[in-house]
A = this chain, B = another copy of it.
């Protein structure tokens, strides 16, 4: 499709026109309201006492049972809330009425007691909302190995249920933070020939960026009307290009979860014609949240787009981009604004993918520094100037002549990252 998601710096006034290959058009407009921007959703954030201070428990409720999809961590040390939510989505066939989220405790590596606590949290959610147990989803983030204080959670949920609002998304985005530098929420209105619908969401963390903290969490809602099977298909596809295409430190936590709920209240059906517009909107929301997570990575000073081209297969493209994005040598060079192309070539060569040195190339911003075995050392100052920016992009062509490509977003590696992660508990 020819559509590209709107930029992250999109202002409320900005409009993005997406022209699809079939000639249909849609317009994306940034709107306020985050996870409750779409019709049919309300939220409440309360202090349950799980964190040292501040809001730490969120309840998100759909007016009517909503189509629901989830993607979860691939970590085999799966946290209890992930086990429960996955189970519920299976039993409900992709329907959910409420999501409960706590920060301050990951409820991971907590054994049978942790499973009991997670089930109690889901049961309390069902009880205060008045819905079947399997229509509840739960997520936790915080310290690993700490048991969830079920009493605090149950009390908090009771309070939250009495204060649900459609304009309190900022509190919700704040309550799911652990040491995120700021709350992350965004929403877009998608206008097509069929009508208008909204997609909005919030997120926290970036993989295991926290000391003993776990979790990247994402919560997205929409008032488009879409069945659970398509909803899941959309979420999986978009996550691959957004939440799964970011890395701060290569870690995958025990609690990672992204949920997507669709209320259908806009009346716009996501049929084949609307599908590309829905995907463009969803990718705009998920992409913005994902890149905001990287921007807020520990010690991060730059957002880095790593673009790999000329790969033999999509898997190779992704693997090489990920290897480059996780290389401490690449990340430190970018931190120092050093256009160190030799490191990029060396990582591509060791990434376990098809690679041809004689036809490979390295680009920093718009500047090609190495191509066809030729070194352009005189261009390094121009490349260094690009690297001094807060948003940089680097490109590596693997030289295989293949047409596969991938983009992964990462941040630089600073001494501050080391200080945060080495000194956290001392």
Chain A residues close to B by CB (< 8 Å): 73-78, 108-112, 143-145, 208, 211-212, 214, 249-254, 327-329, 332-333, 335-338, 340-343, 345-350, 355-358, 360, 370, 373-375, 377, 413-415, 417-419, 421-426
| CB <8 Å contact, A109 and B327 | no
| CB <8 Å contact, A343 and B212 | yes
| CB <8 Å contact, A145 and B414 | no
| CB <8 Å contact, B337 and A77 | no
Copies of this chain, complex-wide, total: 2
* With known contacts A350-B74, A418-B417, A144–B342 Cβ distance under 8 A: yes
| CB <8 Å contact, B414 and A346 | no
Give complex CA distance A360, B76 in Å. Answer: 11
Give complex CA distance A328, B410 in Å. Answer: 14
Q: Which of B251, B336, B346 contacts A350 (CB 8 A)?
A: B251
| CB <8 Å contact, B76 and A332 | no
Give complex CA distance A6, B22 in Å. Answer: 72
| CB <8 Å contact, B109 and A375 | yes
Give complex CA distance A349, B78 in Å. Answer: 8
| CB <8 Å contact, B415 and A336 | no
23 pairs of residues in contact across A and B, judged by CB atoms under 8 Å: A75-B346, A75-B349, A76-B348, A76-B355, A76-B356, A77-B348, A77-B350, A108-B342, A109-B370, A109-B375, A144-B342, A145-B370, A145-B375, A145-B377, A208-B343, A211-B340, A249-B328, A254-B346, A332-B422, A336-B425, A338-B425, A415-B418, A418-B418
Instruction: Output the least CB separation between A285 and chain B (Å).
Output: 26
| CB <8 Å contact, B76 and A357 | yes
- Determine the residue in chain B with the shortest Cβ distance to A73: B350
| CB <8 Å contact, A418 and B414 | yes
Give complex CA distance A208, B145 in Å. Answer: 36
Instruction: Output the least CB separation between A171 and chain B (Å).
Output: 28
Contacts of A328 in B (CB 8 A): 249-251, 328, 413, 417, 421
Give complex CA distance A194, B340 in Å. Answer: 53
Instruction: Output the least CB separation between A142 and chain B (Å).
Output: 11
The residue among A75, A214, A338, A418 with the most chain B CB atoms within 10 A of its own CB is: A418
Contacts of A74 in B (CB 8 A): 350
Instruction: Output the least CB separation between A321 and chain B (Å).
Output: 16
Instruction: Output the least CB separation between A402 and chain B (Å).
Output: 14
| CB <8 Å contact, B145 and A336 | no
The residue among A110, A211, A328, A424 with the most chain B CB atoms within 10 A of its own CB is: A328
